[in-house]
Amino acid sequence: MDYILEGVIGAFQLLLSGHEETYSAVATTLKVSTLSIAICLLVGIPLGFLLGYGHFPGKRALRTVVDTLLALPTVVVGLLVYAFITRRGPLGEIGLLFTIPGIAIGQFILALPIVVSLTASAVEELDPKLRLTLKTLGATKRQVALSSLWEGRYSVMVSAVTAYGRVISEVGVSMMLGGNIKWHTRTITTAIALETGKGQFSMGIALGLVLLTLAFAVNTAVSVLRRRA
């Protein structure tokens, strides 16, 4: 049991001393997850709003597909994206494999169903009288849509934070598409897996503490937003 205590002590020493390699993994994680979520929100919120607000043939089937994709395994996403961006793939010439944008693409696919599904649910849970009231007041279709989205803003923000928590803690996509390259594509989760396998418990515990802190912040934000919603 001594090695566990030594690992914890060493972890705090690494964090307090500003260990460059440790914080490099943290910086890479924040960079790639923020990039993927920013793109995901730009695409996912409009799609989720249309899915929840609109009425069209096949809506129920489409909603079932989106909800099913919520459980999409990270390694499957990594495999599919890898097949496209590897040198022999159709997008191989772009050079996305083992880069931060490459990881971001995989995380985008992983997070998109979350944003779309939860945004659609947020819109569907709005007061049915809201749309009628806005139309009675002379609002245009665009104004009705924007006002409805604004009313459900806290629930939409929950979808964003939930998706962020999903991508920041995943390991399959980051490992397969990033290659766990030191100082370049090594994230918190891939670094923990590597350092633990090497017996470097101090760094693994240090990064684990950072990841737990980020997860706690995400869950706290979700709780606050849900209460407001």
Residue 111's nearest CA partner among 137, 72, 54, 80 is 72
Single-letter amino acid, residue 91: L
The full set of domain ranges for the chain reads: 1-228
Q: Are 20 and 218 in contact (CB under 8 A)?
A: no
Q: What would the pLDDT profile of 155-187 be if each residue is shown by its tens digit? A: 888 899 999 999 998 999 999 999 999 899 999
pLDDT at 13: 85
| Confidence class for position 2, pLDDT limits 50, 70, 90 | low
Q: In whole angstroms, what separates CA 36 from the centre of its chain?
A: 7
pLDDT at 1: 59
* Whether the predicted pLDDT of 218 surpasses 80: yes
pLDDT at 195: 84
∠ at Cα 184 (99, 192), nearest 5°?
105
- Please count the other Cβ atoms lying within 10 Å of the Cβ belonging to residue 197: 9
CA quadruple 137, 141, 147, 152: dihedral, nearest 10: 130
Look up the CATH architecture of domain 1-228.
Orthogonal Bundle (1.10)
pLDDT at 65: 92
pLDDT at 6: 78
Q: What would the pLDDT profile of 182-217 be if each residue is shown by its tens digit? A: 899 999 999 998 888 887 788 888 999 999 999 899
- Mean pLDDT, residues 148-154 taken together: 83
pLDDT at 198: 82
The CA-atom distances, in angstroms, between 29 and each of 24, 65, 121, 163, 204 are 9, 29, 29, 14, 15
DSSP state at residue 198: T
Q: What would the pLDDT profile of 59-97 be if each residue is shown by its tens digit? A: 889 999 999 999 889 999 999 999 999 988 899 889 899
pLDDT at 100: 95
Q: What would the pLDDT profile of 18-64 be if each residue is shown by its tens digit? A: 889 989 999 999 999 999 999 999 999 999 999 988 888 888 899 99
Residue 8's nearest CA partner among 160, 212, 224 is 212
Handedness of CA 194, 195, 201, 203 (dihedral sign): negative
* Whether the predicted pLDDT of 8 surpasses 80: no
Tokens standing for residue 42: 């730009």
| pTM, two decimal places | 0.90
